[in-house]
Amino acid sequence: MRKLEIKDADIVQIAVQQEILRSEDSRYDHRLHGILLVYSGKSCNEVAELFGHSPRTVQYWVRRFERSGFAGLQEAPL
């Protein structure tokens, strides 16, 4: 399959990242997708690059999930 070419990919990427930050539910889903990729064999560095986060953030998600399960991916209380 050939690579898709997306018009204005940089702008779309920013818009999607902003949408993820919009709500607690979308941030939770984002973390779920991140750890799913790690458990599928991607490195924290690869996931971080795809998601626009630091590798340390992805490691933090995985550790929280391993320690507390799905509840560990929920928003931390302020």
Q: Is residue 37 part of a domain?
A: yes
Rounded distance, CA 60 to CA 22, Å?
21
Q: Is residue 43 part of a domain?
A: yes
The whole-number pLDDT of residue 70 equals 96
Domain that holds residue 46: 24-73
Q: Is residue 1 part of a domain?
A: no
The predicted-structure confidence for 45-72, as pLDDT tens digits, reads as follows 999 999 999 999 999 999 999 999 999 9
Into how many domains does the chain fold? 1
- Inter-CA distances, 46 with 1, 35, 56, 67, Å: 22, 12, 12, 22
Q: Which of 41, 65, 35 is nearest to 53 (CA)?
A: 35
Q: Is residue 40 part of a domain?
A: yes
Q: Is residue 9 part of a domain?
A: no
Contact between residue 36 and residue 23 where contact means Cβ atoms under 8 Å apart: no
Q: Is residue 8 part of a domain?
A: no
Q: Is residue 62 part of a domain?
A: yes
